[in-house]
Amino acid sequence: MEKRILWGVILGVVVYAILGLVTDAREVASVLLDFPYLVFLGALGLTVVNYSVRFAKWHYYLRLLGLQVAWPLSLNVFLAGLVMSVTPGKLGEVLKSLLLREAQQIPAARTAPIVIAERLTDLLGLFVIASLGVGTFTFGRWAFVVSLIVVVTAIIILNQPRLIAWMLRIIAGLPVVGKLHDKLEEAYESMRQLVGWKALTVTTLMSVISWSMEGIAFYWIITALGGGGSVLDALFIFSMTTILGAVSFLPGGLGVTEGGMIGGLMLLGVFTTRAPAGAATYLIRFATLWFGVLVGFFALLRFRRVYGEVPEE
């Protein structure tokens, strides 16, 4: 587990070193040193709101599956999962299922689909936010359309139990993976409840609210750096580059998200030079991605003190 996190951190260091070379590290450092810390604390506050709404979504999913998990444990598990934000597609957050199994003996196959449902509705929420600007800006338009088609297609397929049953029967007859049939069947029973249209509507709305908070935090940072543009520009750039990072399947979207943010800020005329664009990107990523990893690390330490070591799987 620690190795996966470490590789994500190493990749982050490499990405930011490269960005430093591209954007002139000295100028970026100068901008960062002059940045008003109260604005950064405000950005962290909006990130906490984002986590609060996402926790409510996570707990809603647990209740939807009929699982009675006390909210302090549920919160600890949710926050611990943030440490895996630097895994491809954040799918490392399936760690939450292992933690619940360790704490309450809940089968991991039953709760692992929540992680997939979270990612799908996160993307749907980001699509809603990005749609406010995708008709005006050409930046990322094709990626938006293709990604939206893929996500909607996946949701439609997951709502076709006969099709999934047919696919599971094929898997059952395959060597090696065939032995996973029963667990996959159990996982799909959970997934059906999570991606029903009513549940999707509720959780997508929650995702729109939660990710808008980080988009507004991005706007605050841009404004404090003297950038132009509106809150709509900031919301569009943040949501579109987060989508690009997610579909790239790189750990934490590293490189793709940061490069997209700098390019988007320059392309839309929010900044005319690279240094403040780079500084804005560093600040919002520290306030969102890396802050989450740090919170998750301490939450995982707390879980281990109470429940012991979690088996590696």
Domain boundaries, the chain: 2-159+195-307
Q: Which of 136-140, 150-154, 210-214 has the lowest mean pLDDT?
A: 136-140
Distances in Å between the Cα of 270 and the Cα atoms of 117, 183, 276 are 34, 49, 10
In sign, the C-alpha dihedral spanning 247, 25, 5, 206 is negative
Report the pLDDT value the prediction gives residue 311, as an integer from 0 to 100. Answer: 58
Between 198 and 27, residue with greater pLDDT: 198
- Asked whether residue 304 carries a pLDDT value surpassing 60, the answer given is yes
What pLDDT band is residue 296 in, cutting at 50, 70 and 90?
very high
Mean local confidence (pLDDT), 110-124: 94
Report the pLDDT value the prediction gives residue 51, as an integer from 0 to 100. Answer: 97
Report the pLDDT value the prediction gives residue 17, as an integer from 0 to 100. Answer: 63
Q: Which of 2-16, 213-227, 260-274, 283-297 has the lowest mean pLDDT?
A: 2-16
3-state class (DSSP) for residue 273: coil
Average pLDDT, the chain: 87
Residue 251, φ and ψ in degrees, nearest 5:
-55, 115
Q: What pTM did the predictor assign?
A: 0.90
Between 8 and 65, residue with greater pLDDT: 65
How far is Cα 220 from Cα 74, in angstroms, rounded to an integer?
Answer: 31
What pLDDT band is residue 1 in, cutting at 50, 70 and 90?
low
Report the pLDDT value the prediction gives residue 12, as an integer from 0 to 100. Answer: 61
What pLDDT band is residue 101 in, cutting at 50, 70 and 90?
very high
